[in-house]
């Protein structure tokens, strides 16, 4: 097993892996309800977003992968995306020119899908995308109120469905926790039911519920704003992370 930062040449592998891994997260099939019908749309937008994550132009983002040799080829089996924009603001000031989470998700995904009545992106449900964004905004309100810019955020975490239960997600989480601990920051995450138990096991605590729901609709995706604060960990826990 190899743990390493992702590089632009990983794009093709990640575009293939991400939909397979993320379909187990209830927020993914909820938002991209038409992904099976509009396969090309689903792939195209996944590629656009991940190309941005891997680009040197988006220094607020760090992508890490876990790779293993399969049939003689290095194969990515798990990935994480960390948002360092808040830490960068503290380090470089609010005038820092790196592109933030809002830039990527609104310009590339949300805005592109919503204009022309949502006709551009057919694999997703526009109302559910809005509900997901509102959930994220509620989470960020609590993060900002309690921690301001003294945080890094775990944005995405996924493992190939055939390679779960090997500790890959834990390894990827702990990497961000190590960075946060060294820099005197906290880790935050918007967690669905898929990752909630893992994050609790790692020492994250719930700040509030921020469930995903379209107004007037019954279906709800459970979601929590969670934080890991190294100051709350005892000395042995902090060193083990």
Placement of tokens 């794009």 in the chain:
11
Please tell me the pTM assigned to this model: 0.86
Give the helix, strand, coil percentages of the chain, each rounded to 5: 50, 20, 25
Residues 18 and 42 sit within 8 Å (Cβ to Cβ): no
Other beta carbons within 10 Å of 129: 21
CA dist 7 and 110 (Å) reads: 25
Check residue 89 and give its pLDDT.
64
Q: What is the pLDDT along the chain (241 residues), one digit of tens a residue?
A: 999 999 999 999 999 999 999 999 999 999 999 999 999 999 988 998 899 899 887 778 899 999 999 999 999 999 999 998 876 665 555 554 444 444 444 444 445 444 433 457 799 999 999 999 999 999 999 999 999 989 999 999 999 999 999 999 999 999 999 999 999 999 999 999 999 999 999 999 999 999 999 999 999 999 999 999 998 874 444 444 3
Other beta carbons within 10 Å of 205: 12
Cite the beta strand spans of 35-170 per DSSP E: 61-70, 73-83, 151-159
- Please state which of the four CATH numbers 3.40.50.620, 1.10.3720.10, 3.30.930.10, 3.40.630.30 is assigned to the domain occupying 2-240: 3.40.630.30
Structural domain boundaries of the chain?
2-240
CA dist 235 and 27 (Å) reads: 35
Q: Which helix (H) or strand (E) holds 48?
A: helix 39-54
Residue (of 197, 185, 33, 49) closest to 112 by Cα position: 49
């Amino acid at each position: 097993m190899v743990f390493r930062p992702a590089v632009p040449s990983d794009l093709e592998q990640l575009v293939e892996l991400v939909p397979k891994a993320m379909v187990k997260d209830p927020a993914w099939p909820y938002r991209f309800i038409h992904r099976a019908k509009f396969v090309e749309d689903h792939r195209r937008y996944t590629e656009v977003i991940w190309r941005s994550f891997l680009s040197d132009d988006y220094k607020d983002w760090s992508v890490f992968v876990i790779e293993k040799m399969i049939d003689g080829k290095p194969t990515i089996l798990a990935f994480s995306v960390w948002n360092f924009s808040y830490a960068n603001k503290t380090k470089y000031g609010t005038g820092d020119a790196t592109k933030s989470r809002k830039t990527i998700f609104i310009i590339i995904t949300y805005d592109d899908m919503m204009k022309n009545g949502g006709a551009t992106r057919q694999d997703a449900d526009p109302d559910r995308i809005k509900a997901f964004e509102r959930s994220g905004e509620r989470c960020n309100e609590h993060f900002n109120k309690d921690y301001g810019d003294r945080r890094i955020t775990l944005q995405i975490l996924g493992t190939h469905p055939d390679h779960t239960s090997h500790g890959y997600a834990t390894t990827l989480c702990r990497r961000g926790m190590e960075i946060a601990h060294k820099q005197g920051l906290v880790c935050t995450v918007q967690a669905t039911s898929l990752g909630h138990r893992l994050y609790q096991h790692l020492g994250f605590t719930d700040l509030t519920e921020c469930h995903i729901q379209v107004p007037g609709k019954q279906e709800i995706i459970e979601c929590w704003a969670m934080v890991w604060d190294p100051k709350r960990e005892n000395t042995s826990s902090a060193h083990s992370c």
